[in-house]
C-alpha cells in the first residue's frame, strides 16, 4: 500500500487563505479541534471558545470572495464541543457548545446564514459531555452532566429535529426526552437501528459498550471485551435506570478478563459501525445483526492505549506517541499489517481531524499544518501494468492521469518517456474521431492538457525569448491572446498571458495600460464600460458582453503594477471599484456585499512586495489597499506588514490613527514596541514611542518586551512595589536610557 500525506489546502483550496495561514500558524491561539466536512474546514482555538470556518473554493473560482457572509472569528461563551453536519443536507450544520446551546447555520453560494440558537438541555447547571446527530432518525442525542447539590450525575437525552427545512428554520424542535438516567459519563455514536453508548472507565472499573436497538421494544446488547450479552427486561420507550441495568450485569462483569480491558474505539461513519480495540490487540466489530455471539475479530500489535482512532475504506488509523500507525487486513491470517506514517514536516502530530458523513479522506494536524492521508493498494499495480502494456484504455486521458500520478509519486525517466510518446501520438491522431463515449467527453480536457503542456515545454526551453514570438512582437502577442477572435480556451489564454507577464513584464503592462484610462477621476464613459466589464470579470469567467477584450485582466494588472508601478496600483483599484458601483448600483444591500470586493481581489492576487522594483512603495500600496478593504484585523495585518519590512516610521504613523480606540491602540502599541525591542531599533524611535504610550499604561506592560538585561533591571528595581508603575512616572528615565548619547 502506497501512502501519501498532502497539505490539506492542496486537496481542498480554501477561501480566505491568508486567515487560514494565520490560524494554522497559531496567531489566534493554540488549535483546539478541527473538523473536515463536505465543503468546509472548521477550526477552534482558545480552548474551543473561538471558531474559524474556511469554505472550499469551487473549481471555477480562483479568488477569495471575502465579501461573502462568513462564519468566522466567532467567539462563544462556552467551548464548542462538536460541529455536526446534517446527513440529508451537507449545507446545514449544528454547532454544539458545552453549555448545551446549539446554533444552526446554513451555507449557500452567498455565504453562511444563521437560523436559530437553542438550549437543548432542560435543567439548570447542566453541561454536555458528548453529542451526536442520528442521520436516519434526524435526532440529537447527548450525554449531559448535572450538578445536583454535592454530587454529579449523568443522563442521556434526545430531541427530534423536523424533516421539513422550513420547520427547522422556525426552530420547531421536539421537547427533550430522557433516554437513560444516572449513567456514567459516556460517548454516543449513531447505529443503523439504534444508539451506541461507550462507557470508558479507569481501571479497576470496567468499560463497556451498550447498543440500544430501537427496532426492538425491549432489547439492549451489552459488550465488554470479547463478551456479549443481551438484556430484554428494559423498554427503550421509557427512561432506562442505569443502576438497575448494572445490577443485572453484575454476574456478567465478574467474568471479565484483563485481556478484555478497553484499549481504544473507532467508529466508521460511512456505515455507522463501531469497533473496539482491546489491550491485547484484539479488534472486535460490534455489528447489530449478529444475534449470536460471533464477532469479526482481528489482531494488531498495540503498544500503547490511544484515544485517537479512525477507520476509513478498510484502513484503521491510530495516533500513538505523536505518531500515526495505519493497519490494514492482509489476504491471509487475522493479524493486520502495520504501516507507520511520519509527520511530513517533522513536527509532532497533535491529533486527527474529526470526520463527518461525506468526508473525502482522513486528515491530521501537526504543530505546523493540516494534512490529508491518502493511499492506494499495491495489489492493483500488476493489473495496471498489464493494462498499460496492452494499451487498452478507452481514452489517452486515463493513461495520462496514471502517468501524472506516478510522476508525482516517483518521477522516473520512464514516466517522462511515456508522456512524450503520448504527446507524439496526440499530434498524429488529431484528425481521428474519439472511439468511445468517455473519449468524447474528455476530448476538450485532453486538448487543453496538451496546450498547457506545450506552453510549459516552451517556457522551460528558454530564459529570455520564446520561439512562438518569432513572428509577432510582444504587443501583438498580448493583443492576440486577449482578443475574442483567438480560438484558445480561457485557461490557455490565462496561462499564456501569465508566462508573457513573467518574461516581459514591462512590455505587457505597457500594452494593458493602453486598454484603459484609469487615471480618470470623474468616471468611465459609456463607450468604455463594456471593455471594463470584461477586464474586471473573475479570472475564469467567460466575457460577459461583446467587447474587444475577452480575457479578464484585473489580477494580471494588479500583479504587474505592484512589481513595476506600485505608485499607480491603489488608484487603479479605486477606479475598478468605482466602475463596479456604476455597473451594479449603490443600494445599501449591494454596498454591503460588493462595496469592497475589488480591494479583496487585489490583496488575494498580489505577490510579495519585496519582488517589486520599488519595494518601499509596494509595501505602502499593499497596506493602503488592506486598510481600504476594511478586512477584520486589517490594522494588525497592516502593522505586521510594516514591521516585517522595517517601515518603523510608517508603523508609528499607522498606530497613531487609532488613539481614539483605546483597546485597539493599546494592542497595536504593544505589538510595535515588542517588535522594535526584538529588532534592536527601539533607541532610534524611543522618544516618539514613549511619548505616544497609551493612557493609563504602566511599566509592567512593556517590561516583558524589553531586552533581557533591561527586563531584569526593571524587575530588580520595582520588585517590592505594591502597584504598577505608571509610564508617565518613568518616561524621562526611559528616554535617557534609550536615547543615544551624542
Least confident piece of the model among 37-46, 232-241, 447-456, 697-706: 697-706
Other Cβ atoms closer than 10 A to 372: 21
What does the DSSP 8-state code read for residue 312?
A: E
Least confident piece of the model among 159-168, 330-339, 479-488, 544-553: 544-553
**pLDDT at residue 498 greater than cutoff 60:** yes
Residue for cell digits 443481551?
230
**pLDDT at residue 412 greater than cutoff 60:** yes
Mean predicted confidence (pLDDT) in 230-239: 80
Mean predicted confidence (pLDDT) in 570-594: 66
What are the residue ranges of helices labelled H in 87-224?
165-169
pLDDT in tens, 708-718: 444 444 444 44
Mean predicted confidence (pLDDT) in 721-742: 61
Q: How far apart are CA 534 and CA 720, in angstroms?
A: 70
Considering 203-212, 358-367, 395-404, 429-438, the range whose residues carry the highest mean pLDDT is 358-367
Mean predicted confidence (pLDDT) in 199-211: 84
Average pLDDT, the chain: 79
pLDDT in tens, 106-133: 988 778 888 888 888 877 778 999 999 9
**pLDDT at residue 196 greater than cutoff 60:** yes
Mean predicted confidence (pLDDT) in 300-320: 81
Least confident piece of the model among 59-68, 92-101, 501-510, 615-624: 59-68
**pLDDT at residue 615 greater than cutoff 60:** yes
Q: Do residues 376 and 3 touch, judged by C-beta distance below 8 A?
A: no
CA neighbor of 475 nearest in space, from 510, 502, 503: 510
pLDDT value at position 594?
Answer: 56
pLDDT in tens, 262-277: 888 999 888 888 999 8
pLDDT value at position 592?
Answer: 45
Instruction: Give helix then strand counts, H and E, for the chain.
Output: 25, 30
pLDDT value at position 330?
Answer: 62
* C-alpha cell at position 194: 439504534
* C-alpha cell at position 372: 490529508
**Please, what's the largest Cα pairwise distance for the chain?**
93
Could you give the percent of the chain with pLDDT greater than 70? 77
Query: Which carries the bigger pLDDT value, residue 689 or residue 655?
Result: 655
pLDDT value at position 345?
Answer: 87
Other Cβ atoms closer than 10 A to 523: 12
Q: Is 364 left (phi over 0), alpha (psi -120 to 50) or beta?
A: beta
**Cα-Cα-Cα-Cα dihedral of 599, 601, 602, 608, to 10°?**
130
Cβ neighbors of 529 (< 8 A, separation 6 or more) are 579, 582, 583
pLDDT value at position 269?
Answer: 87
pTM for this model (two decimals): 0.55
Least confident piece of the model among 128-142, 237-251, 301-315, 621-635: 301-315
**If 0-12 CB within 10 Å is exposed, 13-18 middle and 19+ buried, where does residue 574 land?**
middle
pLDDT value at position 670?
Answer: 84
Q: What is the CA radius of gyration of the chain?
A: 31
pLDDT value at position 271?
Answer: 82
Mean predicted confidence (pLDDT) in 67-87: 77
pLDDT tier, 381 (very low <50, low <70, confident <90, very high otherwise): low
Q: How far apart are CA 8 and CA 13, in angstroms?
A: 8
Q: How far apart are CA 404 and CA 452, in angstroms?
A: 14
Query: Which carries the bigger pLDDT value, residue 463 or residue 202?
Result: 202
pLDDT value at position 63?
Answer: 44
pLDDT value at position 177?
Answer: 92
Burial 526-561 (b: 16+ CB within 10 A, else e): eebebbbbbbbbebeeebeeebebbbbbbbbbbbbb
Considering 460-474, 503-517, 545-559, 650-664, the range whose residues carry the highest mean pLDDT is 650-664
Cβ neighbors of 518 (< 8 A, separation 6 or more) are 568, 571, 572, 575, 576
Q: Is the peptide bond before 514 cis (omega within 30 degrees of 0)?
A: no
Q: How far apart are CA 486 and CA 463, in angstroms?
A: 26
Mean predicted confidence (pLDDT) in 634-638: 89
CA distances from 40 to 34, 71, 72, 293, 465 (A): 11, 11, 12, 41, 43
Q: What is the distance between the terminal CA atoms of the chain, rounded to a whole angstrom?
A: 71
pLDDT value at position 493?
Answer: 77
Cβ neighbors of 124 (< 8 A, separation 6 or more) are none
pLDDT value at position 731?
Answer: 64
Q: At what angle do helices 17-24 and 597-605 cross, to 10 degrees?
A: 60
Q: Which helix (H) or strand (E) segment is 136 a member of?
A: none
Give the 3-state DSSP-derived string for 95-128, with helices as H, strands as E and coil as C: EEECCCEEEEEEEECCEEEEEEEEECCCCCCEEE
Q: How far apart are CA 162 and CA 164, in angstroms?
A: 5
pLDDT value at position 721?
Answer: 45
CA neighbor of 189 nearest in space, from 155, 154, 141: 141
Residue for cell digits 517588535?
675
Amino acid at each position: 500500500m502506497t501512502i501519501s500525506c498532502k497539505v490539506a489546502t492542496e486537496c481542498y483550496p480554501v477561501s480566505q487563505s491568508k486567515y487560514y495561514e494565520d490560524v494554522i500558524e497559531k496567531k489566534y491561539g493554540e488549535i483546539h479541534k478541527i473538523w473536515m466536512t463536505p465543503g468546509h474546514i472548521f477550526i477552534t482555538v482558545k480552548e474551543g471558545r473561538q471558531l474559524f470556518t474556511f469554505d472550499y473554493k469551487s473549481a471555477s473560482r480562483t479568488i477569495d470572495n471575502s465579501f461573502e457572509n462568513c462564519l468566522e472569528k466567532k467567539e462563544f461563551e462556552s467551548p464548542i464541543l462538536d460541529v455536526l453536519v446534517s446527513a440529508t443536507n451537507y449545507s446545514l450544520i449544528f454547532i454544539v457548545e458545552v453549555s448545551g446551546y446549539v446554533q444552526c447555520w446554513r451555507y449557500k453560494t452567498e455565504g453562511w446564514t444563521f437560523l436559530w440558537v437553542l438550549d437543548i438541555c432542560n435543567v439548570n447547571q447542566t453541561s454536555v459531555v458528548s453529542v451526536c446527530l442520528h442521520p436516519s432518525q434526524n435526532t440529537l442525542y447527548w450525554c449531559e452532566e448535572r450538578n445536583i447539590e454535592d454530587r454529579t450525575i449523568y443522563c442521556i437525552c434526545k430531541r427530534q429535529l423536523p424533516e421539513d427545512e422550513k420547520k427547522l428554520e422556525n426552530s420547531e424542535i421536539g421537547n427533550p426526552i430522557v433516554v437513560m438516567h444516572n449513567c456514567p459519563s459516556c460517548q454516543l455514536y449513531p447505529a443503523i437501528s439504534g444508539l451506541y453508548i461507550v462507557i470508558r472507565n479507569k481501571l479497576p472499573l470496567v468499560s463497556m459498550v451498550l447498543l440500544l436497538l430501537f427496532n426492538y421494544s425491549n432489547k439492549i446488547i451489552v459488550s465488554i471485551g470479547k463478551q456479549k450479552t443481551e438484556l430484554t427486561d428494559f423498554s427503550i420507550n421509557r427512561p432506562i435506570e442505569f443502576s438497575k441495568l448494572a445490577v443485572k450485569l453484575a454476574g456478567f462483569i465478574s467474568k471479565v478478563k484483563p485481556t478484555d480491558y478497553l484499549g481504544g474505539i473507532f467508529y466508521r461513519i460511512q456505515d455507522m459501525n463501531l469497533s473496539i480495540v482491546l489491550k491485547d490487540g484484539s479488534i472486535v466489530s460490534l455489528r447489530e445483526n449478529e444475534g449470536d455471539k460471533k464477532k469479526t475479530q482481528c489482531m494488531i500489535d498495540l503498544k500503547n492505549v490511544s484515544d485517537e482512532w479512525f477507520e476509513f475504506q478498510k484502513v484503521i488509523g491510530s495516533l500513538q506517541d505523536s505518531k500515526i500507525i495505519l493497519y490494514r487486513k492482509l489476504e491471509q491470517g487475522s493479524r493486520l499489517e502495520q504501516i507507520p506514517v511520519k509527520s511530513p514536516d517533522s513536527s509532532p502530530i497533535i491529533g486527527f481531524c474529526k470526520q463527518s458523513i461525506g468526508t473525502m479522506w482522513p486528515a491530521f494536524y501537526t504543530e505546523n499544518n493540516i494534512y490529508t492521508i491518502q493511499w492506494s493498494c499495491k495489489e492493483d499495480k500488476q493489473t495496471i501494468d498489464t493494462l498499460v502494456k496492452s494499451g487498452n484504455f478507452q481514452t489517452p486521458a486515463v493513461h495520462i492521469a496514471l502517468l501524472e500520478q506516478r510522476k508525482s509519486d516517483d518521477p522516473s525517466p520512464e514516466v517522462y518517456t511515456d508522456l512524450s510518446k503520448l504527446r507524439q501520438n496526440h499530434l498524429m491522431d488529431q484528425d481521428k474521431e474519439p472511439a468511445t463515449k468517455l473519449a468524447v467527453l474528455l476530448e476538450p480536457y485532453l486538448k487543453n492538457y496538451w496546450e498547457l503542456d506545450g506552453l510549459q515545454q516552451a517556457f522551460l526551453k528558454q530564459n529570455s525569448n520564446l520561439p512562438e514570438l518569432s513572428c509577432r512582437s510582444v504587443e501583438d502577442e498580448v493583443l492576440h491572446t486577449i482578443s475574442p477572435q483567438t480560438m484558445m480556451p480561457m485557461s490557455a489564454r490565462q496561462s499564456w498571458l501569465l508566462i508573457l507577464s513573467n518574461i516581459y513584464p514591462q512590455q505587457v503592462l505597457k500594452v494593458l495600460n493602453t486598454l484603459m484610462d484609469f487615471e480618470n477621476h470623474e468616471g468611465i464613459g459609456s463607450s468604455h464600460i463594456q471593455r471594463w466589464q470584461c477586464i474586471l470579470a473573475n479570472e475564469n469567467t467567460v466575457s460577459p458582453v461583446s467587447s474587444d477584450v475577452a480575457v479578464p485582466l484585473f489580477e494580471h494588472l494588479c500583479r504587474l503594477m505592484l512589481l513595476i508601478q506600485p505608485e499607480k496600483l491603489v488608484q487603479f483599484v479605486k477606479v475598478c471599484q468605482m466602475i463596479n458601483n456604476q455597473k451594479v448600483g449603490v443600494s445599501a444591500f449591494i454596498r454591503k456585499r460588493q462595496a469592497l470586493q475589488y480591494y479583496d481581489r487585489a490583496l488575494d492576487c498580489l505577490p510579495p512586495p519585496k519582488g517589486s522594483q520599488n519595494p518601499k512603495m509596494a509595501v505602502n500600496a499593499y497596506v493602503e489597499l488592506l486598510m481600504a478593504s476594511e478586512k477584520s484585523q486589517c490594522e494588525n495585518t497592516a502593522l505586521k506588514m510594516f514591521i516585517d519590512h522595517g517601515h518603523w516610521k510608517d508603523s508609528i504613523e499607522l498606530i497613531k490613527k487609532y488613539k481614539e480606540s483605546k483597546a485597539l491602540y493599546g494592542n497595536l502599541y504593544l505589538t510595535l514596541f515588542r517588535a522594535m525591542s526584538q529588532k534592536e531599533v527601539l533607541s532610534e524611535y524611543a522618544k516618539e514611542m514613549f511619548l505616544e504610550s497609551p493612557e493609563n499604561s504602566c511599566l509592567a506592560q512593556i517590561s516583558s518586551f524589553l531586552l533581557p538585561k533591561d527586563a531584569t533591571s526593571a524587575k530588580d528595581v520595582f520588585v517590592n512595589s505594591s502597584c504598577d508603575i505608571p509610564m508617565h512616572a518613568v518616561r524621562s528615565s526611559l528616554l535617557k536610557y534609550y536615547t543615544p548619547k551624542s
